[in-house]
Amino acid sequence: MPSPYQTAVFGVSGYAGAELARLLLHHPLLHGHAPIFFGRPDEEKGTPIPLTDLHPQLADNNGAGILAVEPFHWDRLGKQNVDVVFLATPHEQSRAWVPRLLQHGMRVIDLSGAWRLDQETNRAIYNLEDQDPDAALAIQKKAVYGLPELHREQIASARLIANPGCYATSIILALAPLIREKRIDLGRGIVCDSKSGVSGAGKTPTAKTHFMHAADNLSAYSLFNHRHTGELLEQLGLRAGDIIFTPHLLPIPRGIFSTIYVNLQEPTAPEVIDACYRNFYADSPMVRWSGSRLPEIQYCVRTSYCDLGFALARDGKRLVVVACLDNLLKGAASQAVQNMNLLFGWPEQEGLT
């Protein structure tokens, strides 16, 4: 029985777009209804090209190769009765197009940072300009932050889902259980030292993503002003002074490793920490809690999981939590599919394990 739902992906040419295409094409409950793939809305000219010209790894001997990536036209979109649109487009693009897509009655899962932030002070870093600021504000108010482990119910009924940032996903999932139980001594500050593979920097060739710069190297960037910081503050209910977040560029293709340092309010037994996380994630199929066995990047890349583990000092107060995920999957495409599953009332992990 073919799926009753039609999906579309904008911006399928990037790394997250390729993973989205792969996941949607193999999704068991979308069987018989291939997604429509569009180039970016700013590329209205040109002719359709086979998806597998863009991403040869997706080729097989019957089918995927036939799927074309089309230049975008509103007409084309409208005729298709698309139920959900995935935007793997630049922030500005997403900001501009979401109002119109919603008007057409489509639901949107936006992978950019355009709609993630509720507060103007946090959003300022994106320098977004709205044609109709009041309408944009109204949309912003109803946008749901698409982290299923925190907002499962709101996601299911959302019109616009703002898929979280890759770094933010790793850090929020690592801290949320401790914060819910008010275990952290915020007066001593939280340190988030994150490391990401190069795919996080996008597909456009730059000096920074040149092999000669990235290979055999490690560098830190955006100290005290990375865009994902606002997501941490809003989702975890923190003030700016409570947390430091430092991203680093790892010489690997994909994967994020966040080493997170907190001081607990009082001496705590490891079993209590273990229980805190087990309870919080008892019904979260996409989080793997491994307790005192620390996650490593190699075990999470090319999976849709966020892996979490911890180490506690003998004083029972100084705690390190490690979070690992694949920035293109749980940090982007898989999380988007997880949100789609919730939208359609399907099991959260469908097509992801």
Catalytic residues: 166
Shortest separation between residue 234's beta carbon and a copy of itself, angstroms: 19
Please identify which residue in 2, 47, 60, 103 interacts with a copy of itself, judged by CB under 8 A. 60
How far is it, in rounded angstroms, from Cα 129 to Cα 203? 24
Is residue 265 a contact residue for a copy of itself (CB under 8 A)?
A: no
Q: What kind and span of H or E run contains 297?
A: helix 297-300
Site mask, a copy of itself, residues 197-236, x = CB under 8 A?
-xx---x-xxx-xxxxxxxxxxxx--xx------------
Is residue 267 a contact residue for a copy of itself (CB under 8 A)?
A: no
* Per-residue CA distances from 290 to 159, 281, 294, 324 (Å): 35, 12, 7, 11
Residue 22: CB atoms within 10 Å: 16
Is residue 239 a contact residue for a copy of itself (CB under 8 A)?
A: no
User: What's the CA angle centered on 317, arms 312 and 321, to 5 degrees?
Assistant: 40
Nearer to a copy of itself, 107 or 254 (CB): 254
Instruction: Please identify which residue in the block is written with the tokens 């977040």.
Output: 245
Among the residue ranges 90-98, 110-118, 264-272, 293-301, the one whose residues contact a copy of itself (CB under 8 A)? 293-301
Angle, helices 148-156 vs 166-180, to 10°: value is 100
How far is it, in rounded angstroms, from Cα 297 to Cα 253? 11
Binders in 145-174 for a copy of itself, by CB under 8 A: none
Residue 79: CB atoms within 10 Å: 9
Nearer to a copy of itself, 84 or 286 (CB): 286
Please identify which residue in 244, 265, 272, 316 interacts with a copy of itself, judged by CB under 8 A. 244
How far is it, in rounded angstroms, from Cα 46 to Cα 299? 41
Instruction: Please identify which residue in the block is written with the tokens 């989702």.
Output: 235
Is residue 50 a contact residue for a copy of itself (CB under 8 A)?
A: no
Pairing of strands 243-249, 219-220: antiparallel
Nearer to a copy of itself, 71 or 251 (CB): 251
Residue type, 40: R
How far is it, in rounded angstroms, from Cα 5 to Cα 2? 9
Among the residue ranges 38-46, 80-88, 157-165, 190-198, the one whose residues contact a copy of itself (CB under 8 A)? 190-198
Nearer to a copy of itself, 57 or 103 (CB): 57
Contact 192, 171 (CB under 8 A): yes
Footprint of a copy of itself (CB under 8 A):
15, 56-57, 59-62, 187-189, 191, 193, 195, 198-199, 203, 205-207, 209-220, 223-224, 241, 244, 246, 248, 250-253, 255, 257, 259, 261, 263, 285, 288, 290, 293-294, 296-303, 305, 311-315, 318, 320, 322, 349, 353
